[in-house]
Chain A
Amino acid sequence: MCAMDNVALFTEKAKLVSAVVSEIKSLEQAYEYTTELCDQKEACQLLLSGCEEPLSGKAEDLCQLKDWSKMIAAPGLSEEELKKFIPLAKEKGISLIKDGVRNHLGGIDIGFTVVDYGIAETGTLVLDSSSEELRLATMISEIHVAVLPKSKLRATSMDVEKELISYMKDSPNYTAFITGASRTADIERVLAIGVHGPLELHILLWEDN
Chain B
Amino acid sequence: MQSAKDLKGYRTELKGALDNEFLRTSMDNFAVAYRASRANAFKGMDVDAMIRDVAKRKSAAISHMDELFEEFKEKAEKVGVKVHLAATAYEANELIAKIARDSKCKKIVKSKSMTAEETLLNHHLEDAGLEVTETDLGEWIIQLRHEGPTHMVMPAIHLSRYQVSDLFSDVTKKKQTAEIEKLVKVARRELRQKYVEADMGISGANFAIAETGTIGIATNEGNARLVTTLPRVHVALAGLDKLVPSLEDALATLRVLPRNATGQAITSYVTWITGANECQVTEDKNKEMHIIFLDNGRRALAKDPDFKEVLQCVRCGACANVCPVYRMVGGHQMGHVYIGAIGLILTYFFHGREKARNLVQNCINCQACEKICAGGIDLPRLIKLVHAKIQDEEGHPLQSTLLAKLMKNRKLFHTFLRTAKVAQKPLTSNGYIRHLPQIFMKEHGFKALPAIAKKPFRDEWKKIKPVETRSKYKVGLFSGCVQDFVYPEQLKAGVKVIAGHGADLDFPMEQTCCGLPLQMMGELDTLKEVALQNIAAMDASKYDYIVTLCASCASHLKHGYPKLFANEPGLSVKVQQFADKVVSFSTFVNDILQVDAAEFKHTGQKTSMHYPCHLCRGMGVVEAPAELVEKGGMEYVPADEAQTCCGFGGTFSAKFPELSEQILIKKMTDFEKTEAEVVVTECPGCIMQLRGGAVKRGEKFVVKHIAEALAENKIA
Chain A residues proximal to chain B, CB less than 8 Å = 13, 16-17, 46-50, 58-59, 62, 102, 105-107, 121-124, 130-132, 135-136, 139-140, 156-158, 161, 164-165, 167-190, 192, 194-198
Contact = CB atoms under 8 A, between A and B. Distances in A.
Most A-side CB within 10 Å, residue of B222, B223, B271: B222
B268 A182 contact: yes
B262 A185 contact: yes
B278 interface: yes
B372 interface: no
A164 to B, nearest CB: 6
Given A172-B274, A182-B221, A105 B137 contact: no
Given A158-B248, A187-B164, A136 B229 contact: yes
A157 B254 contact: yes
A40 B161 CA distance: 32
Interface residues of B, number: 74
A195 B192 CA distance: 10
A174 B221 contact: no
Interface string B226-255: 101110000000000000000110011011
B268 A180 contact: yes
Contacts of A50: 193
Nearest to A17: B268
A184 B221 contact: yes
B331 interface: no
Interface string B203-219: 00000010111100000
Contact of B154 (A132, A179, A185): A185
B125 interface: no
Given A172-B80, A184-B137, A135 B225 contact: yes
Contacts of B226: 139-140, 196-197
25 contacts: A46-B188, A46-B189, A47-B189, A48-B189, A49-B193, A59-B193, A105-B192, A107-B192, A123-B265, A158-B248, A161-B247, A168-B247, A168-B272, A170-B78, A172-B80, A173-B273, A183-B268, A186-B136, A187-B183, A188-B26, A190-B180, A195-B221, A197-B221, A197-B225, A197-B269
Nearest to B267: A179
A187 B136 contact: no
Given A122-B265, A164-B247, A177 B270 contact: yes
A168 B216 CA distance: 12
Contacts of A176: 225, 269-272
Given A189-B157, A195-B188, A105 B269 contact: no
A183 B221 contact: yes
B154 A189 contact: yes
Interface of B: 26, 29-30, 33, 78-80, 135-138, 141, 154-157, 159-161, 164, 172, 180-181, 183-185, 187-193, 195-196, 209, 211-214, 220-223, 225-226, 228-230, 247-248, 251-252, 254-255, 262, 265-281, 286
A172 B80 CA distance: 8
Given A46-B192, A187-B164, A195-B188, A175 B272 contact: yes
B145 to A, nearest CB: 13
B381 to A, nearest CB: 31
Nearest to A171: B79
A168 B193 contact: no
The 6 A-B pairs with the shortest beta carbon distances in the complex, nearest first, are: A172-B275, A197-B222, A186-B138, A177-B270, A168-B212, A186-B137
Contacts of A167: 274
A175 B149 CA distance: 29
B56 to A, nearest CB: 16
A130 B502 CA distance: 72
Contacts of B276: 172
Contact of A102 (B211, B213, B280): B280
Contacts of B78: 170
Contacts of A135: 225, 229
A181 B184 CA distance: 14
Nearest to A157: B251
B231 to A, nearest CB: 12
Nearest to B111: A196
A193 to B, nearest CB: 8
A106 B192 contact: yes
Contacts of A194: 184-185, 188
Contacts of B159: 187-188
Contacts of B80: 172
Most A-side CB within 10 Å, residue of B154, B157, B180, B225: B225
B266 A48 contact: no
